[in-house]
């Protein structure tokens, strides 16, 4: 039997995204980026995000249907991210998905954004989800999860303060780089020396799977007065900061794989766009004999295809949500 066709909406933060997914086939994936709108403020302004979701959502649904070559009658179920995220943003995608579900008499599925990220490597690599250690690194979250099977997740550790992406963005701001800082620092680091500044690897040897990035951020701040005008220190500072983040993320992930006896690592979230993180994960997993799955660039940062994919997996198991179910800005994964 053919997998169901799901139309999914993702509006948890600043990107408005709509996708049509059938099993692990992405029939359409549309994203309206709001980066330019929030850039002057150095971060996401919730009120602006929700207003722009409202403007973007209808044309995006139409564009997704058109590029999938379907009309609403061709959709078997509608899904939306119901948390975690910004309340006023979540409400837009949720309300639209529920309205479409009610008007077409199709089911609605509420999906956890972090589960979308977690399973995105499997969608990307068209692999069946398998027991894995998952590293999820985004702008709002940094966690290591023991994934036993789809829907059965044990949180092994998370950040105690800043998320990795948040640290990239805050350090980018400190260094005068445009928002979001992550991609800028990645780009700058390519011509920098990662050993130029000796930044701390916080909690590297803590013996657990918790993270902390706020001390690293402060270390960057303290080293700023040392840099001399006219000397091109920026690439070195970026590369050294990035190396400190990547070292901790990679080593803790490998340690978690050993701890749980998993032979598969699934890395996801916006920060897995980072070229150094991808490179180091690839190298370390190969050395340890671990299979590594990562999302393609298009599926790394926020998108609706990952939400549609999870919805499809859940729908196949008979799961649906009530259209009266509320959003949950603090929705937990495990």
- Interface with ligand KG4 (CB under 6 A): 13, 138-140, 165, 168-169, 180-183, 186, 269-271, 273-274, 301-302
Shortest Cβ 245–ligand KG4 spacing (Å): 8
Task: By CB under 5 A, tell whether 302 contacts Zn ion.
Answer: yes
Contacted entry of ligand KG4, Zn ion, none for residue 121, CB cut-off 5 to 8 Å set by kind: none
95 CB-contact burial (10 Å; exposed 0-12 / middle 13-18 / buried 19+): middle
Identify which of residues 100 and 144 has a Cβ nearer to ligand KG4 in the complex: 144
From the list 117, 123, 116, 119, the residue with the least C-alpha distance to 131 is: 119
- Residue 320, CA distances (Å) to 51, 76, 99, 275, 281 in order: 28, 12, 15, 37, 36
Measured at CB, which residue is nearest to ligand KG4? 270
d(CA 13, CA 118): 17
Contacted entry of ligand KG4, Zn ion, none for residue 273, CB cut-off 5 to 8 Å set by kind: ligand KG4
Shortest Cβ 115–Zn ion spacing (Å): 11
Identify which of residues 77 and 119 has a Cβ nearer to ligand KG4 in the complex: 119
- Residue 48, CA distances (Å) to 51, 61, 118, 123, 219 in order: 5, 20, 28, 31, 32
Identify which of residues 138 and 253 has a Cβ nearer to Zn ion in the complex: 138
Shortest Cβ 213–ligand KG4 spacing (Å): 11
Shortest Cβ 117–Zn ion spacing (Å): 6
- Residue 208, CA distances (Å) to 28, 90, 137, 262 in order: 40, 33, 17, 16
Site track for Zn ion across 136-165, x = CB under 5 A: --x---------------------------
Shortest Cβ 113–Zn ion spacing (Å): 6
Contacted entry of ligand KG4, Zn ion, none for residue 169, CB cut-off 5 to 8 Å set by kind: ligand KG4
Q: How many CB atoms lie within 10 A of CB 138?
A: 24
Shortest Cβ 303–Zn ion spacing (Å): 9
Identify which of residues 129 and 295 has a Cβ nearer to ligand KG4 in the complex: 295
d(CA 63, CA 20): 10
* Residue in this structure with the two tokens 């916006």, named with its chain if needed: 270
d(CA 209, CA 265): 15
Contacted entry of Zn ion, ligand KG4, none for residue 165, CB cut-off 5 to 8 Å set by kind: ligand KG4
Using CB under 5 A, list all residues that contact Zn ion.
138, 302
């Amino acid at each position: 039997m053919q997998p169901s066709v799901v139309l999914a909406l993702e509006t948890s933060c600043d990107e408005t995204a709509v996708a049509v997914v059938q099993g692990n086939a992405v029939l359409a994936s549309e994203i309206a980026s709001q980066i330019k709108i929030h850039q002057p403020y150095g971060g996401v302004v919730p009120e602006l995000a929700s207003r722009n979701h409202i403007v973007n959502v209808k044309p995006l649904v139409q564009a997704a249907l058109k590029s999938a070559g379907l009309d609403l009658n061709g959709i078997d179920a509608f899904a939306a991210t119901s948390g975690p995220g910004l309340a006023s943003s979540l409400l837009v995608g949720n309300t639209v998905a529920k309205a479409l579900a009610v008007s077409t008499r199709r089911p609605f599925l509420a999906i956890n954004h972090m589960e979308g990220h977690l399973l995105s490597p499997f969608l990307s690599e068209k692999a069946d989800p398998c027991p894995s250690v998952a590293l999820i690194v985004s702008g709002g979250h940094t966690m290591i999860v023991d994934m036993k099977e789809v829907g059965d997740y044990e949180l092994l550790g998370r950040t105690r303060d800043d998320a990795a992406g948040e640290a990239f963005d805050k350090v980018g701001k400190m260094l005068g780089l445009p928002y979001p800082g992550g991609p800028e620092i990645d780009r700058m680091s390519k011509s920098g020396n990662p050993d130029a500044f000796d930044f701390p690897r916080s909690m590297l040897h803590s013996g657990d799977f918790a993270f902390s990035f706020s001390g690293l951020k402060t270390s960057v701040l303290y080293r700023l007065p040392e840099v001399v005008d006219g000397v091109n220190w920026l690439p070195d500072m970026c590369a050294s900061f990035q190396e400190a983040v990547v070292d901790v993320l990679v080593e803790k992930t490998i340690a978690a794989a050993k701890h749980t006896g998993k032979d598969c690592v699934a890395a996801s979230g916006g920060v897995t766009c980072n070229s150094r993180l991808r490179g180091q994960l690839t190298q370390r997993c190969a050395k340890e004999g671990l299979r590594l799955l990562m999302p393609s660039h298009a599926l790394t940062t926020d998108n609706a295809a990952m939400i549609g994919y999870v919805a499809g997996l859940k729908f196949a198991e008979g799961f649906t949500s009530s259209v009266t179910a509320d959003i949950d800005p603090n929705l937990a994964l495990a």
